[in-house]
């Protein structure tokens, strides 16, 4: 994770290369989330044609919400781990995108690359009031926001690769979304 974090912070890494770093971070962080999910019993056929019991990941109650645009590649990394397990995948630009049928009684995973002030994330958390659980996955989260959110939503689970204390919000070429998509 430390080498991936170093790559994600380097101004020299951008575009497709940075997108791939975010996918890899998504796989690492996503595994931490998946470790908490239930397994279901399945029947498998081995190469000799014999059937037997095994266990498989059960993501059927998961709604994975990708906060566009900077959360896209991180969410792709998480989603790759779901394999063939059924789940809902939502590409979202605003909390209003989260309709009740996508949230109610479900385990919601909010994926964004950077949590700065938390304003955007707070809107999504509010939209998930009827969810069974809410988890946030991010590359980086501002340390000051963590204290605020822990007090307001102690049941919320955060999985982040690193926290930052410098409260820097990127602009132009230093903005994560611009670095990912080559826009500024």
The string of pLDDT tens digits covering residues 93-143 is 999 999 999 999 999 999 998 888 788 899 999 999 999 999 999 998 888
Judge whether 183 lies within some domain. Answer: no
22 three-class SS: helix
pLDDT computed for residue 16 by the predictor: 85
Is 183's pLDDT higher than 70? no
Supply the CATH number for residue 165's domain.
Answer: 3.40.50.2020
177 pLDDT exceeds 90?
no
Q: What is the pLDDT of residue 101?
A: 93
Contacts of 161-164 with CB under 8 Å at 24 or more apart are 161/1, 161/4, 161/5, 161/8, 161/25, 161/28, 161/29, 162/5, 164/140
- Enter the DSSP assignment of 106: S
pLDDT at 104: 96
Q: How confident is the model at residue 145 (pLDDT cuts 50, 70, 90)?
A: confident
Asked, for residue 178, whether it belongs to a domain, the answer is no
Rounded CA separation 34/81 (Å): 8
At 99, list the tokens. 């309709």
Buried/exposed 116-127: b ≥16 CB within 10 Å, e otherwise: bebebbbebbeb
pLDDT at residue 119, as a whole number: 86
Distance from C-alpha of 178 to C-alpha of 18, rounded to nearest angstrom = 11
Asked if the model's pLDDT at residue 26 lies above 60, the reply is yes
- Report if residue 152 sits inside a domain: yes
Query: What domain range is 53 assigned to?
Result: 2-173
Q: What is the pLDDT of residues 50-106, one digit of tens each?
A: 999 888 888 889 999 999 888 999 999 999 999 888 899 999 999 999 999 999 999
Enter the pTM of the model: 0.85
Rounded to whole angstroms, how far apart are CA atoms 31 and 29?
5
Classify residue 36: in a domain, yes or no.
yes
- Helix 2-9 with 15-34: angle, nearest 10 deg: 140
Rounded to the nearest 10 degrees, the angle between the axes of helix 72-81 and helix 15-34 is: 40
Average pLDDT over every residue of 141-164: 83
Domains held by the chain: number = 1
């Amino acid at each position: 994770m430390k080498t991936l974090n170093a790559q994600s912070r380097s101004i020299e890494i951008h575009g497709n290369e940075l997108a791939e770093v975010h996918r890899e971070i998504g796989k690492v962080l996503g595994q931490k989330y998946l470790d908490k999910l239930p397994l279901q019993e399945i029947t498998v056929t081995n190469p000799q044609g014999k059937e037997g019991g095994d266990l498989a990941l059960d993501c059927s109650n998961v709604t994975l919400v990708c906060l566009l645009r900077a959360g896209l590649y991180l969410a792709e990394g998480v989603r790759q781990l779901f394999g063939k397990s059924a789940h809902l995948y939502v590409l979202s630009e605003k909390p209003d995108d989260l309709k009740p049928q996508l949230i109610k009684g479900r385990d919601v995973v909010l994926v964004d690359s950077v949590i700065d002030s938390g304003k955007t994330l707070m809107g999504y958390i509010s939209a998930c009031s009827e969810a069974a659980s809410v988890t946030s996955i991010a590359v980086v989260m501002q340390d000051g926001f963590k204290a605020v959110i822990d007090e307001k939503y102690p049941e919320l689970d955060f999985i982040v690769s690193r926290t930052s204390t410098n409260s820097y919000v990127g602009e132009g070429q230093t903005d994560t979304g611009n670095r990912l998509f080559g826009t500024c």
